[in-house]
């Protein structure tokens, strides 16, 4: 196949015009063009309001050799695209079926591949199936009544289900895991365009059904999936895993499961499980992450700034990504930007409050929101144990809960700069899932963090005019940006207890839906390379 890069067309081009451009670039007649695959589509707004799409395509033509021989265009070459490489299957017989703890992207994709390869995995999830979970989350946002096991962080699909479902990642991908993850999402109902658009996203309304379909495939391939099952303990002997204790979070009953291979894909908010793992002597360490606020602006303002015009029908709600190195040595950056989205109360513990963001697939909300966060490191945390970062998060979230009287504390940027509580809104109406209270968000943070957030927003205002408007809305606290803990794993991806595989964001090896799913595939490959599929006759 031949790859063509930098194919530039006006945003309202037709498919026929793309084909024509391909043929003109390769100097071939249209009849010689057998097929083409779009590998990348990105928006070029450098000459806004004139907007263009830049394409990378792989092309199948009848006269490939001749065309390449005559070719002088540096954007034309042989394609290096290759499909995902399945792992070689190992030899060691399995005594027990592999158990995966957590049905977030990491656990789900790990189970998906192990089931596809015939290992009949058992997937345990402390939360509820997607439909029940959606009801629990809506109820929380309406009444403030939190279900500590079925909420924005816990349940089928993991933390990413109530999100914007942005799928871009910076993780290097030598074996095609990124593409494989996107292909599996498309196979289970995600829009085809995620395979090639520069900033792919699914949206919560679509994601809920995609995770259900993935679950059904795991079961169809011989896996089993259990909800409201929380792993509350692990047992070891001679540094080897022996089994785990599972509590039914509905009935309260407990059972013990013999286990030889367990994947810990528990996410960044499983603090009670982190405490159990620390107590059981698992090697863990505190990890740097970031904290801050979520900021809201009118989406129209962001569209104008990014496109130089209104977005009309043909353009998606505009996004932005901003960073600033601050004089105090810290850096501030925007994170998990949700165009046309909502700020959500993303809490998972009673009396503690954390926010995050989400959008629906159409991103049609009136506001744009994003986290504005500042990096924090172990030296910022109280104490120095592996869970000191968790303690740092909890302290911020406890203050946020108090400041908002159980609802999301909200403040205008001008009041944030004056460190005084807001009493009225300006031109922007908060778009928040879960109630909110006008309050003083700045006082939630240690002084240096509060200063860094203000300096960051002022720096962003110089890059995106209007970003630092006095009536921009800030809500707090954004504290679950990534895991505050890393669970140490060796080159076989096992912990200091053999048979236990730390995986995904909670273990400190991923940040985001796609990279967590890729880490799930990576751990599944490691297990498959070691063991041969579980065979009933080998009891
Ligand atoms: C509101 C929100 C919006 C987000 N938006 C995006 C986005 O747009 N794009 C993006 O890339 N990332 C986004 N993220 C981050 C993304 O969701 C995570 O990076 C990703 O889900 C991590 O995947 P994971 O599988 O490692 O962990 P998780 O998704 O956190 O899944 C862990 C699962 O383990 C379960 N579990 C925990 N403890 C136990 C136990 N003891 N027993 C049994 N089960 C247990 C939990 O219930 C949970 O379902 C968002 C996160 C949130 C909260």
pLDDT, tens only, 177-213: 999 999 999 999 999 999 999 989 998 889 999 999 9
Residue-wise pLDDT tens digits, 391-444: 999 999 999 999 999 999 999 999 999 999 999 999 999 999 999 999 999 999
Q: Which atom of ligand 1 is nearest to the CA of 165?
A: 8
Count of CB atoms situated within 10 Å of the CB of 86: 13
Please tell me the distance between residue 307's alpha carbon and the centre of ligand 1 in angstroms: 32
Please, what is the angle between helix 513-530 and helix 177-187, to 10°?
A: 110
Q: What is the pLDDT of residue 504?
A: 98
| Ligand 1, pocket-test mutation among 266, 287, 346, 479, most atoms within 8 A of CB | 266
Ligand 1 lined by 450 (C-beta under 6 Å): no
Pick from 513, 514, 520, 522 the residue to mutate for probing ligand 1's pocket: most ligand atoms within 8 Å of its CB.
Answer: 513
| Ligand 1 centroid – CA 209 distance (Å) | 16
Residue-wise pLDDT tens digits, 30-50: 999 999 999 999 999 888 888
For ligand 1, whether the C-beta of 344 sits within 6 Å is yes
The reply to whether ligand 1 has any atom less than 6 angstroms from the CB of 522 is: no
Task: Ligand 1, residue 162: give the atom nearest the CA.
Answer: 1
What pLDDT does 392 receive?
98
Q: What percent of the chain has pLDDT over 70?
A: 99
Q: How far apart are CA 125 and CA 451, in angstroms?
A: 40
Q: What pLDDT score does 204 carry?
A: 85
Q: Is the CB of 504 under 6 A from ligand 1?
A: yes
* Other beta carbons within 10 Å of 18: 17
Judge if the beta carbon of residue 164 lies within 6 A of ligand 1.
yes
> pLDDT (tens digit, 9 = 90+) per residue, 208-232?
999 999 999 999 999 999 999 999 9
- CA distances, 351 to each of 153, 273, 278 (Å): 15, 19, 23
Average pLDDT of 26-31? 94
The response to whether residue 284 sits with its C-beta less than 6 Å from ligand 1 reads no
In sequence order, which residues have a C-beta less than 8 Å from that of residue 458 and are 6 or more positions away? 468
Q: How confident is the model at residue 314 (pLDDT cuts 50, 70, 90)?
A: confident
Mean pLDDT of 11-20: 96
User: Is ligand 1 within 6 A of the CB of residue 355?
Assistant: no
How much distance in Å is there from the Cα of 404 to the middle of ligand 1? 25
- Kindly give the number of the ligand 1 atom that is closest to the alpha carbon of 201: 8
Residue 537's pLDDT is what? 60
Check pLDDT > 70 for residue 536: no
Cα(106) to centroid(ligand 1), Å: 8
What average pLDDT score do residues 372-384 get?
Answer: 96
- Which atom of ligand 1 has the smallest separation from the CA of 124? 43
User: Is the predicted pLDDT of residue 534 greater than 80, yes or no?
Assistant: no
**What number does the ligand 1 atom closest to the CA of 273 have?**
41
Among 147, 267, 273, say which to mutate for ligand 1: greatest number of ligand atoms within 8 Å of CB. 267
Distance 158 CA to ligand 1 centre (A): 4
pLDDT at position 203: 86
The ligand 1 atom at the shortest distance from the C-alpha of residue 229 is 43
Could you report the per-residue pLDDT of 263-302, keeping only the tens digit for each? Answer: 999 999 999 999 999 999 999 999 999 999 999 999 999 9
Q: Are 60 and 36 in contact (CB under 8 A)?
A: yes
Q: Supply the pLDDT for residue 333.
A: 98
Residues 342-364: tens digit of each pLDDT:
999 999 999 999 999 999 989 99
Radius of gyration of the chain (CA): 24
Beta bridge partners of 342: 358
Q: From ligand 1's centre to the CA of 22, what distance in Å?
A: 41
Q: CB-based contacts of 528: which residues, under 8 Å, 6+ apart?
A: 87, 88, 89, 90, 113, 114, 117, 119
Please give the pLDDT value at position 313. 85
Residue nearest to atom 5 of ligand 1 (CA): 163
Query: Does residue 366 surpass a pLDDT of 80?
Result: yes
Nearest CA to ligand 1 atom 4: 163
**Ligand 1 pocket, 513 CB below 6 A?**
yes
- Nearest partner of 315 among 339, 342, 332, judged by Cα: 339
Whole-angstrom distance, CA of residue 46 vs CA of residue 400? 40
């Amino acid at each position: 196949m031949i790859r063509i890069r930098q194919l530039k067309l006006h945003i309202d081009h037709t498919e026929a015009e793309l084909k024509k451009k391909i043929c003109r670039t390769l100097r071939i007649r249209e009849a010689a063009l057998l097929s083409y695959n779009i590998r990348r589509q990105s928006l070029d707004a450098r000459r806004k309001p004139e907007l263009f799409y830049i394409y990378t395509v792989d092309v199948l033509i009848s006269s490939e050799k001749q065309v390449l021989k005559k070719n002088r265009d540096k954007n034309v070459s042989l394609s290096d695209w290759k499909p995902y490489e399945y792992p070689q299957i190992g030899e060691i017989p399995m005594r027990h079926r592999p158990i995966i703890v957590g049905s977030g992207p990491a656990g789900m994709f790990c189970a998906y591949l192990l089931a596809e390869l015939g290992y009949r995995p058992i997937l345990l999830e402390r939360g509820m199936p997607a439909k029940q979970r959606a009801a629990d989350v809506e109820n929380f946002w309406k009444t403030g009544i939190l279900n500590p096991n079925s909420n924005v962080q816990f349940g089928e699909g993991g933390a990413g289900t109530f999100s914007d479902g942005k799928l871009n990642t910076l993780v290097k991908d030598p074996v095609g895991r990124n593409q494989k993850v996107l292909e599996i999402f498309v196979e289970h109902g995600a829009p085809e365009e995620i395979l090639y658009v520069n900033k792919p996203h699914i949206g919560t309304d679509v994601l809920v059904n995609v995770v259900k379909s993935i679950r059904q495939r795991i079961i169809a391939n011989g896996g089993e999936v259990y909800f409201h099952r929380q792993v509350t303990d692990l047992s070891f002997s001679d540094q080897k895993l022996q089994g785990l204790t599972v509590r039914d979070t509905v009935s309260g009953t407990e059972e013990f499961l013999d286990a030889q291979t367990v994947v810990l894909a528990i996410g960044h908010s499983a603090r009670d499980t982190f405490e159990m793992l620390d107590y059981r002597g698992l090697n863990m360490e505190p990890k740097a992450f970031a904290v801050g606020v979520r900021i809201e602006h009118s989406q129209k303002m962001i569209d104008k700034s990014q496109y130089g015009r209104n977005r009309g029908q043909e353009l998606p709600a505009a996004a932005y990504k901003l960073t600033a190195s601050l004089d105090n040595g810290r850096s501030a950056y925007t994170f998990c930007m949700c165009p046309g989205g909502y700020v959500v109360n993303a809490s998972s513990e009673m009396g503690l409050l954390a926010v995050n963001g989400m959008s629906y697939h159409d991103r049609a909300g009136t506001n744009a929101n994003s986290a504005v966060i500042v990096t924090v490191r172990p030296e910022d945390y109280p104490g120095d144990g592996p869970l000191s970062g968790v303690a740092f998060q909890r302290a911020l979230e406890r203050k946020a809960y108090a400041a908002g009287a159980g609802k999301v504390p909200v403040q205008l940027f001008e009041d944030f700069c004056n460190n005084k509580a807001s009493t009225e809104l300006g031109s922007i109406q908060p778009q928040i899932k879960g109630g909110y209270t006008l309050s003083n968000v700045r006082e939630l943070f240690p002084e240096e963090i509060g200063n860094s957030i203000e300096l960051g927003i002022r720096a962003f205002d110089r890059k995106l005019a209007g970003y630092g408007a006095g009536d921009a809305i800030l809500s707090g606290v954004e504290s679950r940006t990534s895991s505050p803990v890393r669970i140490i794993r060796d080159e076989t991806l096992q912990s200091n207890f053999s048979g236990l595989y730390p995986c995904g964001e909670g273990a400190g090896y991923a940040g985001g839906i796609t990279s967590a799913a890729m880490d799930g595939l990576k751990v599944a490959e490691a297990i498959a390379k070691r063991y041969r599929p579980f065979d009933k006759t080998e009891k």
